């Protein structure tokens, strides 16, 4: 059973990454961070309704993974999905406008935070039922294999979803049929308010072992560790060796959703993660320490990102609500 612990790369050992790549990671993570902060603020202003699950703290996972993929690879996740959409290069304006329920949103305002898609960017949602994205992602992988397009699926799930029965039904079929899929468990330690040790027996990375699916633990707070692990996993899936499980040890700083006061964990725990393990701060430090970038360059990126997010917020508040006639569209495809 190929379960291994991966060491977090140190600041002085990143020979495989150019400063351009490191800055790209920084930029992509920062976009998610600032976007989510703005979404939280707009929720507070009543501009975003319903459920809104923020990705703040987990940025390294999706950015590291996405940078190991090629054109045509498909992505699927559950409802904490804003980061995944930004990482697949979906337009922040369309994402934010969907959060505000406007016509300019990716689902014309009919899906909301948890239900967004882009066929163009191969982002297949955005699913609100915990665990349901796993057989669907496995089916996308089936589609890749059936059509022989050389692509793979990356199927993200949480430490809560991992206990759903359909996840194991999927693992079984994916292993049996050697489907090209990487299952990425984003283990942020809490399934809503239930900590991993209260919900899950054993190690999550070993949940595929009975099916012969290799599993690896990855430092999900380090974009470089994620990138390195994802390269191997993606290659394994793409070469026809079947599924792989990556358990990303990560952390969400905010509550489960906007209305979660997060009383199930201590302030000290959150503060420690934010101050010592933050993926963006740590990459920034590495960029500066290795002279891959200077303060001015990083400040310029900050300004760019701020402008992109402000533009998205503007668009999302100025885009009109969907036309009432939209109530009756998109129920069936007209043949």
Among 6, 19, 24, 169, binds another protein (CB under 8 A): 169
DSSP class of residue 293? S
CB of 19 to another protein, least distance (A): 25
Q: What is the DSSP string of 22-65?
A: HHHHHHHHHHHHHHHHHHHHHHHTTSS-S-----TT-HHHHHHH
Residue 206 CB burial class (10 angstroms; 0-12, 13-18, ≥19): middle
Site membership for another protein, residue 258 (CB under 8 A): yes
User: Given CA atoms 242, 247, 253, 257 in this order, what sign does their dihedral have?
Assistant: positive
Tokens representing residue 174 in the block: 């994916």
Q: Which is nearer to another protein, 235 or 327 (CB)?
A: 327
Stretch that binds another protein, among 15-23, 169-177, 214-222, 239-247 (CB under 8 A): 169-177
Among 259, 268, 291, 296, binds another protein (CB under 8 A): 259
Residue 268 CB burial class (10 angstroms; 0-12, 13-18, ≥19): exposed
Site membership for another protein, residue 222 (CB under 8 A): no
**Which of the residues 63 through 102 are near another protein (CB under 8 A)?**
74, 76
Among 47, 192, 199, 297, binds another protein (CB under 8 A): 47
Stretch that binds another protein, among 16-24, 207-215, 240-248, 250-258 (CB under 8 A): 250-258
Q: Which is nearer to another protein, 201 or 325 (CB)?
A: 325
Stretch that binds another protein, among 62-70, 210-218, 252-260, 282-290 (CB under 8 A): 252-260
Among 118, 188, 222, 230, binds another protein (CB under 8 A): 118
Site membership for another protein, residue 154 (CB under 8 A): no
The closest alpha carbon to 22, from 219, 259, 279, 195, belongs to 279
Site membership for another protein, residue 38 (CB under 8 A): yes
Total site size for another protein, rule CB under 8 A:
78
Site membership for another protein, residue 324 (CB under 8 A): yes
Among 17, 25, 43, 55, binds another protein (CB under 8 A): 43
Residue 128 and residue 126: Cα distance in Å, rounded? 7
**Which of the residues 176 through 205 are near another protein (CB under 8 A)?**
176
Site membership for another protein, residue 165 (CB under 8 A): yes
Tokens representing residue 6 in the block: 């991966």
CB of 124 to another protein, least distance (A): 6
Site membership for another protein, residue 279 (CB under 8 A): no
CB 232 within 8 A of CB 4: no
Site membership for another protein, residue 269 (CB under 8 A): no
Stretch that binds another protein, among 17-25, 198-206, 244-252, 315-323 (CB under 8 A): 315-323
Tokens representing residue 184 in the block: 């990425």
CB of 286 to another protein, least distance (A): 20
Q: Which is nearer to another protein, 169 or 232 (CB)?
A: 169
The closest alpha carbon to 223, from 39, 9, 38, belongs to 9
Cis peptide before 120 (omega within 30 of 0): no
Residue 175 CB burial class (10 angstroms; 0-12, 13-18, ≥19): middle
Secondary-structure breakdown of the chain: helix, strand, coil percentages, each rounded to the nearest 5:
45, 10, 40
């Amino acid at each position: 059973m190929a379960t291994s612990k991966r060491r977090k790369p140190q600041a002085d050992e990143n020979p495989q990454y150019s400063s351009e790549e490191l800055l790209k990671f920084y930029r992509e993570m920062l976009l998610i961070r600032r976007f989510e902060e703005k979404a939280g603020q707009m929720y507070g202003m009543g501009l975003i309704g319903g459920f809104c699950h923020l990705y703040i703290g987990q940025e390294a996972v999706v950015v590291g993974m996405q940078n190991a993929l090629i054109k045509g690879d498909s992505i699927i996740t559950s409802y904490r999905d804003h980061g995944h959409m930004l990482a697949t290069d979906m337009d922040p304006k369309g994402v934010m406008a969907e959060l505000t329920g406007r016509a300019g949103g990716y689902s014309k305002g009919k899906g909301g935070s948890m239900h967004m898609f882009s066929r163009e960017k191969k982002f297949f949602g955005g699913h609100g039922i915990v665990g349901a994205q796993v057989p669907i992602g496995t089916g996308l992988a089936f589609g890749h294999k059936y059509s022989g397009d050389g692509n793979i699926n990356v199927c993200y799930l949480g430490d809560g979803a991992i206990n759903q029965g359909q996840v194991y039904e999927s693992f079984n079929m994916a292993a049996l049929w050697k489907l090209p899929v990487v299952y990425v468990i984003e283990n942020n330690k809490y399934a809503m308010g239930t900590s991993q040790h209260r919900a899950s027996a054993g190690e999550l990375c070993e949940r595929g072992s009975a099916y012969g699916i290799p599993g690896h633990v990855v430092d999900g707070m380090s974009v470089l560790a994620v990138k390195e692990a994802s390269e191997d996993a993606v290659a394994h899936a793409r070469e026809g060796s079947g599924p792989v499980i990556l358990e990303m040890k990560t952390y969400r700083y905010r509550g489960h959703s906007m209305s979660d006061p997060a009383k199930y964990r201590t302030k000290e725990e959150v503060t420690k993660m934010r101050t010592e393990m933050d993926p963006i701060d740590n990459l920034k430090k590495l960029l500066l320490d290795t002279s891959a970038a200077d303060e001015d360059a990083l400040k310029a990126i900050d300004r760019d990102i701020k402008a992109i997010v402000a533009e998205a917020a503007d668009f999302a508040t100025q885009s009109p609500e969907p036309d009432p006639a939209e109530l009756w569209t998109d129920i069936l495809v007209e043949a």
